[in-house]
Amino acid sequence: MTEKAIGYFRIFQEVARAVLSVLSVKEVLHLISKRIVVALNVKASALMLINEKTGKLEIMASHLLSKEYLSKGPLDPEKSISETLKGGPVLVEDAPTDKRIQYGEMARREGIASILSVPMTIRGEVTGVLRIYTARPRTFTDNELELICAMAEIGAIAIENAHLFESKETELSELLERGGVDYDYQAPTEKYRIKAVLKGEISPEKSYHYFRELHELTRTIAADMQMEKIMEDVVKEIAQAMEVKGCSLLWLNSLSKELELIATFGLSQAYLAKGPLQMDRSIPQALEGEAVFIENVQEDPRIQYPEAAQEEGIASILSVPILVKEKVRGVLRLYSSKSTPFVQEEIEFIKAAAEIGGIAILNAKLYQAKDHDISFWMSTLDYLGITDPQKSP
């Protein structure tokens, strides 16, 4: 593992947060194109989408390519490394002379030696291409290819997420317009200002491993907007990745002052039914933004139900705050049958996983709220007999 592996976990964590935070597609794609160049120390990058009307590849974001190169002309998928559209990465080591490159002379003038093209795929359909440009002939390691493919995948997810939310906004807007109600649509965030929760460093040995774990989590989260099923899979994957007895995701209810169980894995129904978790009695420091490790659940006063924990075979608990947009929304808890403390690198990974899980919950709540709004207004307008703007009272 080379020193470059240090950046794997952090770059993917940052981009995953941006994608799941439902930022504008343009902002997310520019973030991907910039971060991948820095991480791999390459000349430039570009993300291209297939225009459904023209069938051409259009550049949506790029980093460090000249205006002259960007304006070279339309890219025909059949003439520009068509193998990529079949679903696999393609490396052209000598771009200026390779016939698969549509604008070889322009590549030479731009100082491009090699081009790596990776498909952006959603549910088996190629929607675009992520391209990496190098100044010298270069190949890529399997680890580097995995990171690039993950970034291409996350870019495709960003586009689909945006389309899902935009379709709901459009449906609601048209519905309210039919009823004569003004609707103020709020566009996705244009600037990426969310601070990362990570503070500690990740070693080269752990960085690639944690990147792969986080990639799987993000893929799971992005697969569906149904929160219950998603979160069950997330806590299971975290528990298995950290090799602990169980894992729970608890959401903060500011009205009841309790922690509500969203999802859990590895814990018995008897333990889950032990009673409500009070914010001020159940490891309250985690709600102040601290990761808290309880080494001995039997002797620590911050544990609300020590007897139930003993019967469950729990020796220690790690409680990590779920920070979304700098606000504590809940906690992610890991339950272990041993009292061995977690090392800082493990805590950094868990904090990142907790934040991404929290963002997913907020997204799912927002998506479900849109469904509720649409159903409510459909019923209301139907009750009022409004089916057309001209028929509005």
Domain 3-160 identical in fold to domain 204-371: yes
| pLDDT value, residue 258 | 93
Residue 31 confidence (pLDDT)? 86
Other C-beta atoms closer than 10 Å to the C-beta of 122 total: 16
d(CA 165, CA 25): 12
Cα distance between residue 241 and residue 350, in whole Å = 10
In this structure, what is the dihedral angle of CA atoms 101, 102, 104, 105, given to the nearest 10 degrees?
A: 180
- DSSP-derived pairing of the beta strands 114-122 and 277-278: unpaired
Predicted local confidence at residue 391, as pLDDT = 43
Where does 204-371 sit in CATH, by number? Answer: 3.30.450.40
Q: What is the pLDDT along the chain (393 residues), one digit of tens a residue?
A: 344 444 788 888 888 887 776 556 788 888 899 989 998 999 999 999 888 888 888 899 999 999 999 998 888 776 777 777 777 899 999 999 999 899 999 999 999 999 999 999 877 788 889 999 999 999 999 999 999 999 998 888 777 777 666 666 666 566 656 655 554 444 444 444 444 555 666 777 788 889 999 888 888 776 665 667 778 888 999 999 999 999 999 999 988 999 999 999 999 999 999 999 998 889 999 988 889 999 999 999 999 999 999 999 999 999 999 987 778 989 999 999 999 999 988 998 999 889 888 877 776 776 666 665 656 656 666 656 665 544 444
- CA-only gyration radius of the chain, Å: 24
Domain boundaries, the chain: 3-160, 204-371
Read off the DSSP letter of residue 340.
P
Matching CATH number, 3-160, of 3.30.450.40, 3.40.50.1400, 3.30.300.30, 3.40.50.2300:
3.30.450.40
Give the 3-state secondary structure of residue 250. Answer: strand
- Termini Cα distance of the chain: 70
The structure's pTM equals 0.75
